[in-house]
Structures are given as C-alpha cells and as structure tokens.
C-alpha cells in the first residue's frame, strides 16, 4: 500500500494586522515536499524529499497546486511516474538534486530514521511508554544520542 503526499511551502509573509493578511503567495512557492509512505511485509517505510527552486526537480508536478479545482485535468499516473524516478526505498542511494531528504523504517516498537547529513536515529518505545533514542553514523553501531 502506498500513500503519497505532495506539499508546497510558500514564502513567509508578515502583515501588521489580521485584516491585511491575504495569502497570494501560493503561486510562487520556494520549496516543494514529496512524501511517500508504503508498507512491505511487517515494515512501514517513509521517504521525504525537499526541493527548492535551485534544484533541478523543483518543477516536478508543479501543476499539482490547488488540485480541488483541477481534478478533471490532472493525470493520477503522473504521481507514480514522478515517484518512480525518486530513490524512495530505504536502502536506495539518494543521488538526485535535492535540498534535503529523510527516510524512515518502522517495525513494531522500533523506528529508524536517516537523512541527507548521514545522521541515523533509532527510537525504541518501551513497555512503560518511554522511548529510548540511539544515534549512529552508519545504521549498524548504535549509542545513546548526545
């Protein structure tokens, strides 16, 4: 099962009063976020890719904005085509032009996260409701996070 979420970040705009707050910046986002969740066997995986305007794939699915009014004009297969080109699997090397990325892998009470900075974090939920956090630089050797 796949769940695909595409998000667009818009520039932050500050207004002096609530009456002046009008959001007109949706047309010019500075970041696009693609998030994918899927399950295989007993694992649930996630991948998030963040593209900014300097990244080659920033315009991927750029017409998928305000989709409520465009349902008849958009082709759902375009989502799968876009994600097939991304290294969303947990062990896939991320060699695309991306601002930053994060991936996760969960089974039972353990979730492992990794990101573009080579950081790994394991969260293990204990029977008493607390969570133990461990960190790694290789995903093999774990130690208490500092």
Q: For 63-84, how does the pLDDT look when each residue is reduced to its tens digit (9 = 90+)?
A: 777 677 777 888 888 878 888 8
Cα–Cα dist 145/135, whole Å: 5
Q: How many structural domains compose the chain?
A: 2
HEC string for 108-130: CCEEEEEECCCCEEEEEECCCCC
- pLDDT in the model for residue 19: 59
Please indicate, yes or no, whether residues 25 and 72 belong to a single structural domain of this protein: yes
Element at 85 (helix H, strand E): none
- Per the structure block, which two tokens stand in for 31? 């970041």
3-state secondary structure of 82: helix
| pLDDT tens digits, 7-25 | 444 445 555 665 555 555 5
Please indicate, yes or no, whether residues 24 and 95 belong to a single structural domain of this protein: yes
Counting other chains too, the contacts that 71-80 makes at CB distance below 8 Å and 24 or more residues apart are: 79/4, 79/6, 80/4
Please indicate, yes or no, whether residues 88 and 125 belong to a single structural domain of this protein: no
Please indicate, yes or no, whether residues 114 and 72 belong to a single structural domain of this protein: no
Please indicate, yes or no, whether residues 121 and 71 belong to a single structural domain of this protein: no
**Range of the structural domain that residue 130 is part of:** 108-146
Are 110 and 123 contacting, i.e. CB atoms less than 8 angstroms apart? Answer: yes
């Amino acid at each position: 099962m796949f769940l695909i979420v595409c998000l667009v970040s818009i520039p932050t705009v500050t207004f002096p009063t609530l009456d002046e707050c009008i959001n007109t910046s949706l047309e010019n986002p500075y970041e696009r976020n693609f998030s994918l969740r899927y399950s295989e066997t007993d694992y649930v995986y996630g991948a998030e890719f963040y593209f900014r305007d300097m990244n080659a794939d920033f315009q991927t699915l750029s017409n998928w904005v305000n989709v409520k009014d465009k349902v008849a004009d958009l082709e759902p297969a375009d989502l799968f085509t876009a994600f097939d080109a991304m290294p969303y699997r947990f062990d896939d090397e991320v060699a695309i032009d991306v601002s930053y990325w994060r991936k996760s892998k969960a089974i039972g009470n353990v979730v492992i996260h990794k990101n573009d900075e080579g950081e790994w974090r394991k969260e293990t939920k204990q029977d008493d409701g607390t969570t133990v956090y461990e960190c790694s630089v290789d995903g093999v050797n774990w130690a208490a996070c500092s």
